[in-house]
């Protein structure tokens, strides 16, 4: 028998006023009720969904936590699905949130450092026979961006369960979420950095550089980013500023260092470790990063 195939998605909650939900995860009963509603919504959108298993994390995360190399949140759902009883007894709806005592298990504890965003996501999987899952995945990629709003009843279940004020609730494939994040990063002036994040997600064996104009110099390989760390003199040499300009450009250098810190924070939010490599400007910084 062929190994089952998976379709990765998220149930995305846009919070009114950016106010964080009061609850991190749903109780077992609430989680099951929400998962059943999500399954009905998706089945109404795409034929074939009802024939697949649905596995939902009834806990909310920052989008960056769902877009990490190896897809760890979805991978955890896949592992739980593989151990769940009832395989072979027909399509199942599985939900994982808080335990009976209200505690949230470690795999579904969101990073508190990323808790302030206005968009929270609940990862889900659809799992089934390869041909069926592939057909459903392709249909969802075509439909969800345009037609993927949750029904009012499902949105209300999420709102009440998480004690949140939800402005919009919708379904996205993992690729839809990545495309949305790419647009956000573009609006925030971080478009060059997204290429590294996307490569880490979709092409983990790729080597990717960020070497553009006055931007920080970065190299991605094996899921790790090496970033060139310049002192003021080395920065002046590498970026070819005039010999007498370094003191005058101190403010520009300070901005460059802030940009480096911003890049490192974004990469680490996506679970991509950053190693700073000291470059004095005399040696080839690209060669040092590739060493």
Residue at a domain's end among 137, 165, 185: 185
Beta-strand (E) ranges in the chain?
Answer: 5-15, 53-57, 93-96, 119-128, 166-173, 208-210, 218-221, 224-230, 274-279
Q: What would the pLDDT profile of 256-279 be if each residue is shown by its tens digit? A: 999 999 999 999 999 999 999 998
Residue at a domain's end among 152, 185, 218: 185
The CA dihedral of 103, 106, 112, 117, to the nearest 10 degrees, is -90
pLDDT-based confidence at residue 42 (cuts at 50, 70, 90): very high
Residues contacting 66, CB < 8 A, separation 6+: 10, 73, 74, 121, 123, 174, 177
Q: Are residues 34 and 69 in the same domain?
A: yes
132 three-class SS = helix
- C-alpha Rg value of the chain to the nearest Å: 22
Q: Are residues 169 and 194 in the same domain?
A: no
Residue at a domain's end among 149, 169, 185: 185
Q: Are residues 233 and 155 in the same domain?
A: no
Task: Give the C-alpha distances (Å, rounded to integers) separating 55 from 68, 84, 264, 287.
Answer: 19, 10, 32, 45
When mean pLDDT is compared across 98-102, 137-141, 143-147, 218-222, the lowest value belongs to 98-102
Q: What would the pLDDT profile of 91-137 be if each residue is shown by its tens digit? A: 999 999 998 888 898 889 999 999 888 999 999 999 999 999 999 99
Residue 84 has phi, psi (to 5 degrees) of: -70, 145
Percent of the chain with pLDDT over 90: 76
Please name which of 69, 107, 90, 77 lies closest in space to residue 6, comparing C-alpha atoms.
77
Ramachandran bin of 160, using left for φ above 0, alpha for ψ from -120 to 50, beta for the remaining angles = alpha
Residue 48: which domain range?
5-185
Calculate mean pLDDT across residues 249-253.
Answer: 84
CB 13 within 8 A of CB 161: no
Q: Are residues 204 and 235 in the same domain?
A: yes
Residues contacting 108, CB < 8 A, separation 6+: 25, 57, 59, 73, 76, 96, 97
pLDDT over 70 (residue 216):
yes
Calculate mean pLDDT across residues 27-35.
Answer: 97
pLDDT value of residue 139: 97
Q: Are residues 181 and 223 in the same domain?
A: no
pLDDT over 70 (residue 1):
no
Q: Are residues 152 and 284 in the same domain?
A: no
pLDDT value of residue 167: 95
CB 132 within 8 A of CB 52: yes
Residues contacting 133, CB < 8 A, separation 6+: 4, 5, 6, 7, 52, 126, 127
pLDDT-based confidence at residue 237 (cuts at 50, 70, 90): confident
Q: Are residues 72 and 175 in the same domain?
A: yes
CB 7 within 8 A of CB 131: no
Q: Are residues 102 and 172 in the same domain?
A: yes
Calculate mean pLDDT across residues 39-49.
Answer: 97
Calculate mean pLDDT across residues 16-20.
Answer: 85
Mean pLDDT of the chain: 92
CB 54 within 8 A of CB 74: no
Residue 91 has phi, psi (to 5 degrees) of: -60, 140
Please name which of 232, 225, 186, 229 lies closest in space to residue 208, comparing C-alpha atoms.
225
Q: Are residues 115 and 225 in the same domain?
A: no
Q: Order of strands, edge to edge, in the sheet holding 224-230? A: 208-210, 218-221, 224-230, 274-279
Q: Are residues 34 and 93 in the same domain?
A: yes
Integer Cα distance of 232 and 257 in angstroms: 10
Q: Are residues 181 and 197 in the same domain?
A: no
Number of domain units in the chain: 2
């Amino acid at each position: 028998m062929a190994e089952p195939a998976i379709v990765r998605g998220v149930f995305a909650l846009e919070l009114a006023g950016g106010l964080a939900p009061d609850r991190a995860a749903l109780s077992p009963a609430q989680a099951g009720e929400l998962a059943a509603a999500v399954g009905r919504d998706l089945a109404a959108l795409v034929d074939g969904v009802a024939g697949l298993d649905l596995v939902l994390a009834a806990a909310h995360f920052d989008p960056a936590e769902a877009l990490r190399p190896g897809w760890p949140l979805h991978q955890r759902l896949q592992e739980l699905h593989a151990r769940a009883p009832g395989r072979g007894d027909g399509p199942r709806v599985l939900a994982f949130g808080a335990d009976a005592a209200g505690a949230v298990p470690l795999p579904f504890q969101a990073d508190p450092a990323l808790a302030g965003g206005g968009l929270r996501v609940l990862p889900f999987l659809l799992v089934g026979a390869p041909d069926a899952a592939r057909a459903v995945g392709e249909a969802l990629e075509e439909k969800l961006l345009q037609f993927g709003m949750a029904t009012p009843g499902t949105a209300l279940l999420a709102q009440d369960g998480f004690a949140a004020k939800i402005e919009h609730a919708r379904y996205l494939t993992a690729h839809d979420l990545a495309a949305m994040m790419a647009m956000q990063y573009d609006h925030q002036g971080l478009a060059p950095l997204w290429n590294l994040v996307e490569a880490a997600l979709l092409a983990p064996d790729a080597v990717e550089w960020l070497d553009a104009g006055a931007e920080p110099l970065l190299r991605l390989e094996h899921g790790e980013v090496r970033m060139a760390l310049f002192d003021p003199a080395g920065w002046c040499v590498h970026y070819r500023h005039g010999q007498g300009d370094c003191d005058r450009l101190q403010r520009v250098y300070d901005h460059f260092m802030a940009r480096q810190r911003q890049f490192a924070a974004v990469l680490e939010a996506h679970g991509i470790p950053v190693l700073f490599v000291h470059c004095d400007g005399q040696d080839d910084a690209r060669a040092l990063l590739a060493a």
